[in-house]
């Protein structure tokens, strides 16, 4: 797909260049001081102009064709090190193609109210959305899980689109989806590295595409 896009763009660029070249040469031909033996023969001028235009167009077309025909070698680099990638950003684990960590709900309450010793209790033990922060002295703040998305974004601020997700009966996690190609580029330090799911074992693997 990538090669097809490059070839298409190259072809369009060649056509634009050829048209621009033809127009330029024709315009310049009017300003050329032709030798006396040519100046009186309009057909000589036309032949010379078309010969030059044809040579330029042919050269550009051949060059573009050769560039489009350059083959791409794909080399398998290895598996997608999602665990290492997630750990480097402070997450404690993975799930599918994403990084996640279980939220310390007491710490989330402490961070929210800038104090120590808070805990989170659930008015309905089976509903993770009913959690409220409770102070060390037992005072109910009536606020709790509504601030968990902000807690996750602040804790993992170097990552993109981190969300707070409930995990019944009364757990919450910070999670972010991960692009496997980004992991491959990070692991192998290569902009040409891409992540693809193997059609046979359905495992994500890293590959590197190089033009020959």
Distance CA 153, CA 150 (A): 5
What does the domain layout of the chain look like in residue ranges? 2-70, 98-177
- The long-range contacts involving 99-104, CB below 8 angstroms and separated by at least 24 positions, are 99/159, 99/175, 99/176, 99/178, 100/173, 100/174, 100/175, 100/176, 101/156, 101/173, 101/174, 102/167, 102/171, 102/172, 102/173, 103/148, 103/151, 103/152, 103/164, 103/171, 103/172, 103/173, 103/174
Amino acid 176: pLDDT: 95
Each residue of 103-123: pLDDT tens digit?
999 999 999 888 888 999 998
Each residue of 26-80: pLDDT tens digit?
545 555 555 555 555 554 555 656 666 666 666 666 666 556 555 566 788 888 9
Amino acid 191: pLDDT: 86
């Amino acid at each position: 797909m990538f090669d097809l896009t490059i070839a298409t763009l190259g072809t369009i660029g060649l056509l634009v260049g050829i048209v621009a070249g033809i127009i330029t040469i024709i315009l310049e031909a009017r300003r050329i001081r032709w030798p006396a033996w040519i100046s009186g023969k309009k057909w000589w001028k036309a032949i010379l102009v078309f010969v030059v235009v044809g040579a330029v167009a042919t050269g550009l077309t051949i060059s573009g064709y050769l560039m489009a025909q350059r083959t791409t070698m794909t080399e398998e680099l290895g598996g997608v090190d999602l665990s290492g990638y997630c750990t480097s950003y402070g997450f404690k684990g993975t799930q599918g193609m994403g990084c996640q960590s279980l939220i310390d709900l007491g710490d989330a309450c402490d961070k929210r109210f800038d104090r120590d010793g808070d805990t989170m209790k659930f008015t309905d033990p089976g509903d993770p959305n009913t959690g409220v922060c409770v102070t060390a002295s037992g005072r109910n703040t009536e606020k709790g899980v509504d601030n968990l998305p902000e807690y996750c974004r602040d804790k993992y601020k170097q990552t993109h689109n981190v969300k707070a997700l409930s995990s019944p009966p009364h757990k919450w996690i910070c999670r972010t989806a991960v692009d496997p190609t980004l992991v491959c580029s990070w692991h192998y330090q290569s902009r040409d590295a891409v992540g693809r799911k193997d059609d046979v074992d359905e495992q994500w693997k890293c590959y590197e595409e190089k033009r020959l």
